[in-house]
Structure 1
Amino acid sequence: MALPHLLKYIYNNGTDEVIRRGKKIHANRQIELVDYDELLGNISFRVKDDAYSTYYKVHIQQFKDPKTLEVRCSCPYNLGEICRHESAALFQLQEMADKNQLNEEQLSYDQRHTVVKMKQLDLKMIKMLCATESYAEAEEFLRTQKAQILQAEDEKVAAELELQGITYRVYIQKNEERNLDTSCQCDSEHEHPLCVHKTIILTQLLNSFGPNYFDTIRNWDRDKNKLLAIYGYSLSDDLTGKFEFTYQNGRPFLRVLDPTIKRVITPASNEKRNNETAEIPPTPQQNTIEKPVFVPVPQRSQTSTRYKLAIVFSYNAHQYPFVQTDMVMGEANESLDDFVGKVERLDLAKFVNTEQLDEEDRNLLQQVRKLLPGEVSRYLNRNSPFSGIWENIVQQHDDTLPEETRHLIIEYLHPKFKKLFNELSLSNYVFYLPQGKTFTTAALEHQFCSHKYISPVFYLSYQEGVGYNLTVNVTLPDGEEVPLADNAVASPVVYKHKDQWYVWEKTEDVYLIERFLPGGNMLIDEANWPTQLQSFVLPLSRSHQLHFNNVPREEVTDTTPTIQLKLKERGDYLLFQPSFTYLGYEIQPNDKERVILPVQGKLLTIHRNMAVEKAFVQKMEALHTQFVRID
């Protein structure tokens, strides 16, 4: 189970410092609710700064849908996507949603993953977070028997118990917010975050070991690795004469002994957890390419040589999503549009001297570091807290990753590639390493990144005896259509056409076209056609451009819809919802101007009368000056 979209927005757009200070403001309760519009999904907070006695106003608009979420703050911060005040407000909003303080519909809990806001084991909290019947049943169970603890280390407990002849396995662990992630596959409780099986385990741990049990099984190596990762090191490296750890109030603090060691600007996570870390396997080219090296850059006072960074894309068949991003550094020519000699590949997990680089390259370095496998692993761990137990993250050789994991990787990488391509659209420092070639300067080929997006277009054809063939073409920014299968890197995230690189406009498009890779088509036999038509083809026709070549169909044009007006109360608002019906089919909000329906063995294509629909909506809007239109 993934994080709520509000928390994803924070972790995807905020720096580590912004997130840390946002949590501090939220923990100190320096946030006040100013206004909440339930109908529009807009909310405003008054947030006090953590360093000064200054208040800022944070506006969060349309927060119920991750696609429309917008956040604005009145502070002058402009060094990142979000500031610490916006981060704190989003944490507060998520807490209000968890406590059902937004007058939403009744919450439904999925026992596969629920978060329990409990810093330490507390009997009062356990009773409050479970049903009365569940706690009574848990007490009855613990009077005569105990659950079996299978694992208890690294602030993680795996237990097994038998209840009513069925064996259940329960997982409980501390997360980064020091709350408890809990998991049980019983699916027996939807109104409370704790089912009876979780209640049994938590109560047993409290009775046997006390409220601070999870602190007693904490492994400080994880925290030490986080501190070392700031400088590009881990506990597996030789730290002699470089670092030492001191302890205050039982927590480790890092001291840097070697003054030449510098912080990595955006540290990649080198943290390794046994059976827990979503670790991306090494690239298959490691045996053929040169080992990354640190490039010492001369001081500006000693030489006038200009150094530039360049991005190198390559195909990686063993690491999803099959595109690898590296950086090289070299001496630039006078016009700053090419290198004059050989380049050196950088190890982005280590410190890189950026004193000789311009501001543009420094920012580019930070963006590319966000694409490192360690950063992807951090995102997967945060969104899949029990992935190590279920073993659905680590990709072994050519094994296919689970769909949920692939979607999480795409969800993380796609917006970052969009931002990166936008930055590189005017750059001459983009290269491609052809598949199978050694990473050398001579092997690199000049490429270009487009800031314009591509979109898919679908074609459906029928062949008797074979079935239905659904193929995908890619519409390039200039209008040209090329087959999806012609992608030179076979990646679902990016598309390479000749020497030009493109990225998809929508994340949903990446999810969709992935189903057609690598051949660029999907065959549907006649036996499965009715099911696939209803579940996949018709929804696809509503959201994307779909052409029917030789499929039996009938066109309906110039028809007038039946119009109804539905009234609904929502909070302080009276909602007027127009409804348009064509030949018995009621138009849905996501329908396009052309609606396709299955009728008697053929497809019926209805062309909506948009003029009539718009005229009715405009007539409604003219009836009252205070009508608010909700898109």
Structure 2
Amino acid sequence: MALPHLVKYVYTHGTDEVIKRGKKIHAIGYVELVEYDELFGTATFRVKDDSYSTFYKVYIHHFRDPKATSLRCGCPYNLGDICRHEAAALFQLQELLDRGHLQTGHIRYDQRHTVVKMKSIDLKHLRLLCAAETLVQAETFLRTHKAVIEYAENETVKAQVTLEGEVYDVLIKKNEERNFDTSCEYEDSDHPLCLPKVIVFLQLLNTYGAGYFDSIRNWDKEKNKLLEAYGYSLKDDLKGKFEFTYQEGKPFLRVLDATIKRVATPVPSARQALRTFPTPAPSLPEVPIAPAVSLPDQRLGVVFNFNKKSFPRFSVDAVIGEPNEENDGFAGNVEKLDIARFVNTDTFNDSDAALLQLLRKLQDAEINKYVNRNSPFSGIWENILHHEADDLPEETKDLITEYLQPKLHRLFQEFGSQALVYTLASGKAFKTAQLQPLQLQTTEAYPLFHIKKNSHYVVHCKVKAGITELDLSDNEAPTPLLFFYNHQGFCWKNKETILLIEQFRPTGKMVINSTNWKQQLQEMILP
């Protein structure tokens, strides 16, 4: 049985130590649910550390969607993707879901007071918080009618909406948590927002923009500070002289009259000296000597080794050596590093030290751990004998791709511009002379499709790598997980793209019958 995706997230992104201590924190009972939102799929936990009497808040977003799940913790841990507090929170969340404690029944809303959790007027949130037909009715209403805004000050809006001859009073205001408190007498117990509220929100959004409530906030203190620089205040007549604009919810001053200049800040006059001293003879200024830029004693290098016969057809090795003067390569021979053992990182710079932690995650031992946890042969995968010549099952390939892709993507995005990267071609011995330099690109490669129609459809798959459009067969890497061309390395966006590309390998084209074209177009080409 496959693991739940929350537990799978822990085993995928956490180190062995993080997983162990996360289980300990969860078992002791140091995890407490603070806030839970069924609608948005968010949960907030208060987690006590297992070593110190310190509490941290862990925020989990979109936990129902395995592809969009994200976490944030207030602790300073930065040596891995997740910390022990996040691991403990995920274990606790999964336990609550398994026990059914978070399965709420049908919620009934009282429109006289509902809280809308959004920081600004957002159309996406409005769609979630009201019925689909309500949004359509509100848009139809606003084409010919308007809500009457009676009051709009101090982040509070009072309006009247007339529907079928009946007048509804709507009150919307920002609360202390910067969310919206709403009130109306309209009947709608199934959604947080009823029709009159949606009408007012949409009218404000279309007329004034998403940050309207910030613009009617009392910013007098901040505005006076801006005007003081020109010798004015809000008590003066500012018409035709100044105008306030709002960006990201903050006021900015715009000067309309070009003759108005900033008031120079008076410099306090120096106090008269009580005693005069002889003026020393002028001396030549000393020319400061620029400090020499110190290079790290050793640099860490990454090698994509294509001597591996089984999927994914490559391994990632680490080498160390003395950097050259430009610090963009090695000055001499390099030494292969056994990163499964302890490595002293004192001679590395901060970037290489962080890179080492990521490279450890890309080793075969870590890949096998992930496959062992998630494959149908869970628990016995490591005991099965595998020969390099044997092709792996598709399920296993899919698990390996699922594990490696996000880590390779992080390698390209975070370390691509500064890491020393090389390739070792298949059949070559691991020697410095055989290593070819490779420049990792932070821009992702993505597929392009050219379609020709005869009696059937012929789809040609091209690859957009940087500014160049290439054939799929131009890939110099013998793996579908990466795209290398002319000493440049590109990474795909996600696992789905890799699986799509795999269908076109090795020829780069696919023939589709006319009867299956519509289905293939919707499922493969358009997404």
Q: CA deviation at 1:504?
A: 0.5
Q: Does structure 2 retain, via aligned residues, the 8 Å contact 1:2–1:383?
A: yes
Q: Does structure 1 retain, via aligned residues, the 8 Å contact 2:304–2:423?
A: yes
Equivalent residue letter for 1:452: T
Instruction: Give the structure 1 partner of residue 256 of structure 2.
Output: none
Instruction: Give the structure 1 partner of residue 436 of structure 2.
Output: 445
Alignment partner of 1:414 out of 383, 391, 405: 405
The 1:306–1:104 alpha-carbon spacing in structure 2 relative to 1, beyond 3 Å, is same
The 1:387–1:517 alpha-carbon spacing in structure 2 relative to 1, beyond 3 Å, is farther
Residues 118-155 of structure 1: CA distance to partner in whole angstroms, max 9, x if unpaired? Answer: xxxxxxxxxxxxxxxxxxxxxxxxxxxxxxxxxxxxxx
State the distance in 1 between where 2:402 and 2:385 align.
17
Alignment partner of 2:325 out of 309, 322, 334: 334
State the distance in 2 between where 1:67 and 1:428 align.
28
State the distance in 2 between where 1:98 and 1:407 align.
27
Q: CA RMSD in A?
A: 2.7
What pairs with 1:31-50 in structure 2 (closer than 5 Å)? Answer: 31-50=31-50
Instruction: Give the structure 1 partner of residue 213 of structure 2.
Output: none
Identity %: 47
The 1:428–1:47 alpha-carbon spacing in structure 2 relative to 1, beyond 3 Å, is closer
TM-score (norm 2): 0.59
State the distance in 1 between where 2:385 and 2:508 align.
26
Instruction: Give the structure 1 partner of residue 372 of structure 2.
Output: 381
Instruction: Give the structure 2 partner of residue 556 of structure 1.
Output: none
Residues 506-529 of structure 1: CA distance to partner in whole angstroms, max 9, x if unpaired? Answer: 2211122122222222233x4xx5
Q: CA deviation at 1:89?
A: 0.8
Q: CA deviation at 1:499?
A: 0.8
Instruction: Give the structure 2 partner of residue 473 of structure 1.
Output: 462
Alignment partner of 1:462 out of 432, 435, 453: 453
The 1:35–1:305 alpha-carbon spacing in structure 2 relative to 1, beyond 3 Å, is closer
Q: Does structure 2 retain, via aligned residues, the 8 Å contact 1:490–1:518?
A: no
Q: In the alignment, is residue 359 of structure 1 matched against residue 354 of structure 2?
A: no
Residues 400-448 of structure 1: CA distance to partner in whole angstroms, max 9, x if unpaired? Answer: 3222211111111011111111233223621122333222211211110
Q: Does structure 1 retain, via aligned residues, the 8 Å contact 2:61–2:69?
A: yes
Instruction: Give the structure 2 partner of residue 55 of structure 1.
Output: 55
Q: Does structure 1 retain, via aligned residues, the 8 Å contact 2:301–2:421?
A: yes
State the distance in 2 between where 1:103 and 1:47 align.
22
Q: CA deviation at 1:533?
A: 3.0
Alignment partner of 1:309 out of 295, 300, 304: 300
Instruction: Give the structure 1 partner of residue 125 of structure 2.
Output: none
State the distance in 2 between where 1:308 and 1:402 align.
38
What pairs with 1:239-278 in structure 2 (closer than 5 Å)? Answer: none
State the distance in 1 between where 2:383 and 2:392 align.
7
Extract unaligned runs of 5+ from structure 1: 106-303, 544-631
Instruction: Give the structure 2 partner of residue 435 of structure 1.
Output: 426
Q: CA deviation at 1:357?
A: 2.6
What pairs with 1:417-566 in structure 2 (closer than 5 Å)? Answer: 417-427=408-418, 429-464=420-455, 467-478=456-467, 480-524=468-512, 526=513, 529-530=514-515, 532-543=516-527
Q: Does structure 1 retain, via aligned residues, the 8 Å contact 2:79–2:354?
A: no
The 1:68–1:15 alpha-carbon spacing in structure 2 relative to 1, beyond 3 Å, is same
Q: Does structure 2 retain, via aligned residues, the 8 Å contact 1:311–1:327?
A: yes
Q: CA deviation at 1:389?
A: 6.4
State the distance in 2 between where 1:390 and 1:18 align.
23
Alignment partner of 1:403 out of 365, 381, 394: 394
Q: Does structure 2 retain, via aligned residues, the 8 Å contact 1:31–1:46?
A: yes
State the distance in 1 between where 2:378 and 2:92 align.
27
SS at match of 2:490: strand
State the distance in 1 between where 2:320 and 2:70 align.
37
Q: Does structure 2 retain, via aligned residues, the 8 Å contact 1:32–1:46?
A: yes
Residues 560-586 of structure 1: CA distance to partner in whole angstroms, max 9, x if unpaired? Answer: xxxxxxxxxxxxxxxxxxxxxxxxxxx
Q: Does structure 1 retain, via aligned residues, the 8 Å contact 2:373–2:379?
A: no
Q: Does structure 2 retain, via aligned residues, the 8 Å contact 1:392–1:402?
A: no
State the distance in 2 between where 1:390 and 1:52 align.
38
SS at match of 1:447: strand
Q: CA deviation at 1:378?
A: 0.4
Equivalent residue letter for 1:396: H
State the distance in 1 between where 2:32 and 2:378 align.
36
State the distance in 1 between where 2:55 and 2:334 align.
49
Instruction: Give the structure 1 partner of residue 29 of structure 2.
Output: 29
Q: CA deviation at 1:394?
A: 6.2
Q: CA deviation at 1:450?
A: 0.7
Q: CA deviation at 1:350?
A: 3.3
The 1:31–1:347 alpha-carbon spacing in structure 2 relative to 1, beyond 3 Å, is closer
The 1:316–1:97 alpha-carbon spacing in structure 2 relative to 1, beyond 3 Å, is farther
Q: Does structure 2 retain, via aligned residues, the 8 Å contact 1:310–1:329?
A: yes
Structure index of larger Rg = 2
Q: Does structure 2 retain, via aligned residues, the 8 Å contact 1:427–1:448?
A: no
State the distance in 1 between where 2:358 and 2:305 align.
17
Q: Does structure 1 retain, via aligned residues, the 8 Å contact 2:19–2:87?
A: yes
Q: Does structure 1 retain, via aligned residues, the 8 Å contact 2:307–2:427?
A: no
Instruction: Give the structure 1 partner of residue 335 of structure 2.
Output: 344
State the distance in 2 between where 1:104 and 1:494 align.
44
Residues 253-308 of structure 1: CA distance to partner in whole angstroms, max 9, x if unpaired? Answer: xxxxxxxxxxxxxxxxxxxxxxxxxxxxxxxxxxxxxxxxxxxxxxxxxxx99222
Residues 83-116 of structure 1: CA distance to partner in whole angstroms, max 9, x if unpaired? Answer: 22211110011112222332179xxxxxxxxxxx
SS at match of 2:503: helix
The 1:423–1:438 alpha-carbon spacing in structure 2 relative to 1, beyond 3 Å, is same
Q: CA deviation at 1:393?
A: 7.7
Q: Does structure 2 retain, via aligned residues, the 8 Å contact 1:454–1:477?
A: yes
Q: CA deviation at 1:376?
A: 0.3
SS at match of 2:8: helix
Q: Does structure 1 retain, via aligned residues, the 8 Å contact 2:310–2:392?
A: no
Q: In the alignment, is residue 10 of structure 1 matched against residue 10 of structure 2?
A: yes
Instruction: Give the structure 2 partner of residue 70 of structure 1.
Output: 70
The 1:56–1:397 alpha-carbon spacing in structure 2 relative to 1, beyond 3 Å, is closer
The 1:402–1:533 alpha-carbon spacing in structure 2 relative to 1, beyond 3 Å, is farther
Equivalent residue letter for 1:477: G
SS at match of 1:421: helix
Residues 55-93 of structure 1: CA distance to partner in whole angstroms, max 9, x if unpaired? Answer: 322221111102221212233434432222211110011
Q: Does structure 2 retain, via aligned residues, the 8 Å contact 1:96–1:102?
A: yes
State the distance in 2 between where 1:81 and 1:97 align.
23
Extract unaligned runs of 5+ from structure 2: 106-294
Q: Does structure 2 retain, via aligned residues, the 8 Å contact 1:58–1:74?
A: yes
The 1:320–1:414 alpha-carbon spacing in structure 2 relative to 1, beyond 3 Å, is same
Q: CA deviation at 1:473?
A: 1.0
The 1:517–1:541 alpha-carbon spacing in structure 2 relative to 1, beyond 3 Å, is closer
SS at match of 1:382: helix
